[in-house]
A and B are shown apart, each in its own frame.
Chain A
Amino acid sequence: MQYALLTYTAPDDTDRAARPIPDALAALLEQPSITGWARLHADGSATTLRNDDGRTLLTDGPFIDSKEYLAGLFLIEAEDLDGALAIAGQLLGQTRPGTAIEVRPVLEGRLRAA
């Protein structure tokens, strides 16, 4: 069963793009149960398109305006929610304080290399 892990991070004063993925986290990403991942630029880079009764509205910035922003996502394969939570817990252990990971079961989808 596939789960998506959505990672939310508090803003940091250092440049996110200049900060490499920590070695321990990079090692975790190699495990076969992680089938895909994406690290996102900070929310300042976001542009949002919204369907407003058929009209497309374009705004600068993220859709959800909160202190924490969506910083990345993982796709994982796990037996059940406990398995997914265990992987999410490992990943969370390699993040900065204040980070949150939302675990969502995947209904359907497709993954392929770009």
Chain B
Amino acid sequence: MPLDAVFRDHWGRVLATLAGTLGDLELAEDAAAEAFAVAAERWPRDGEPANPVGWLVTTARNRAIDQLRRRQVLTAKTALLARDLATGAQPPAEAEADVDDTAVIPDERLELIFACCHPALGLEAQVALTLRTLGGLSTEEIALAFLLPVETTSKRLTRAKRKIRDARIPLAVPPDDQLPDRLAAVLAVVYLIFNQGWGGGRVDLAAEAIRLGRALAGLRPDEPEVLALLALMLLHDARTAARFRDGQVVPLDEQDRAQWDAAQIDEGRALLARAMARPRPGPYLLQAAIADLHLQQPRDWRQIAALYEALARLTGSPVVEMNRAVAVAELDGPAAGLAILDRLDLEHYRYFHSTRASLLRRAGRHGEAHRAYQRALDLAQTEAEQRFLHDRLAETAP
């Protein structure tokens, strides 16, 4: 069932509320889907209710009760739900016709995303579940985005939902002592979704990740890393239109800056400024600050190199070191950059070889550059990358 934009905006809210009440994500999802189906039929005819989220939650809750009754597993849960409804003074039958439009439905999406990104679930399950529950993507869309069989994705989602129920993974914001680690896990899932979507063009995962990032920033407006991640994604995404020309990757310095999304850059910078007002920069803040510096002309390579160094200290990531090598090469010449690259173990990372090739070429070592471009081409994953590397190979051919 394709949910249109209005529905997509409500899906996460409705599902989060239901999951909180029912304690069973699978049941909540089935009930929510039914409620959305009823809405798709009635709203165009009767008009959208004044409180669409309240209407959907009430309708779905009634469906869930029916479902539980049918299953006959229920005594305790039904009593609980019936009492819930009674306190809202809603007649259980046909309640959707007279939903209290003024009822405030608390936003429980944060509780839900912490459950979806719980470390007791595998990372792939976390990603799929977050896209399904908070993003409202269908199982088919998620499968398509990650180039997986629908059945694999469906099984993964079902297993994860059942584990949340059976092992009782809490639908709750973690206590303060666990919050930093757990929040980092949530942000990692969102950023992974973003990176998967960058220029992919299948399902727009970058837009999904930004939507999730906005929701998180709305729910935790004082958390600098939440703001920084959203800033980082907006700043990267602002260049999407300029990143490809005739199916080829266009390097940053050759991009048509008029094609950059100025409003999105402004929004990213404003978020970055808010995040920077807090002490102790985290990894997303550093990355967002670097992304911002890369958008300025001329680029301040000294500051960029310094920020990469801070980020490398924080994360211990060799990929960050690789990026620092590029900045150092701009400052002190390609040999200085290559000296850093030679210390890194990134043999299986495609961008390592293209980065190294470009520095070798600038150092006049064309034979080595040619071999490095060849290695990058062997590892390239998209056609645009392959075309770019083919051209470089031709230019460095002996």
Q: Which A residues are closer than 8 A to B by beta carbons?
A: 1, 79-82, 85, 103-105, 107
Main secondary structure of the interface of B (DSSP, over half): loop
- Chain A nearest Cβ from B248, distance in angstroms: 48
Kindly report which residue of chain A lies nearest to residue B120, judged by CB atoms: A81
Q: Within the assembled complex, what's the spacing in Å between the Cα atoms of A1 and B174? A: 19
Q: Do residues A1 and B168 form an inter-chain contact, with CB atoms below 8 A? A: yes
> What residues of B have a CB within 8 angstroms of the CB of A81 in the complex?
118, 120, 167-170
Which of A81, A105, A107 is most buried by chain B, counting CB atoms within 10 A of its CB?
A81
Q: Within the assembled complex, what's the spacing in Å between the Cα atoms of A39 and B118? A: 30
Is B332 interfacial (CB-CB < 8 Å)?
no
Interface set, chain B 168-189, CB cutoff 8 A to A: 168-170, 172, 174, 178
Which of B166, B167, B170, B174 is most buried by chain A, counting CB atoms within 10 A of its CB?
B167
Interface set, chain B 139-180, CB cutoff 8 A to A: 166-170, 172, 174, 178
Kindly report which residue of chain B lies nearest to residue A105, judged by CB atoms: B167
> What residues of A have a CB within 8 angstroms of the CB of B166 in the complex?
105, 107
Q: Within the assembled complex, what's the spacing in Å between the Cα atoms of A79 and B172? A: 12
Q: Do residues A80 and B168 form an inter-chain contact, with CB atoms below 8 A? A: yes
Q: Within the assembled complex, what's the spacing in Å between the Cα atoms of A104 and B163? A: 10
Q: Which B residues are closer than 8 A to A by beta carbons?
A: 118, 120, 166-170, 172, 174, 178
- Chain A nearest Cβ from B180, distance in angstroms: 15
Given contact pairs A81-B120, A81-B167, A105-B167, a sample of 5 additional A-B residue pairs in the complex whose CB atoms are under 8 Å apart? A80-B169, A81-B168, A82-B178, A104-B167, A105-B168
> What residues of B have a CB within 8 angstroms of the CB of A79 in the complex?
168, 170
The 10 closest A-B pairs by CB, nearest first: A80-B170, A80-B168, A105-B167, A81-B169, A81-B167, A105-B166, A81-B168, A1-B168, A82-B170, A81-B120
> What residues of B have a CB within 8 angstroms of the CB of A103 in the complex?
167
Q: Within the assembled complex, what's the spacing in Å between the Cα atoms of A80 and B169? A: 6
> What residues of B have a CB within 8 angstroms of the CB of A107 in the complex?
166
Kindly report which residue of chain B lies nearest to residue A107, judged by CB atoms: B166
What are 23 A-B residue pairs whose CB atoms fall within 8 Å in the complex? A1-B168, A79-B168, A79-B170, A80-B168, A80-B169, A80-B170, A80-B172, A81-B118, A81-B120, A81-B167, A81-B168, A81-B169, A81-B170, A82-B169, A82-B170, A82-B174, A82-B178, A103-B167, A104-B167, A105-B166, A105-B167, A105-B168, A107-B166
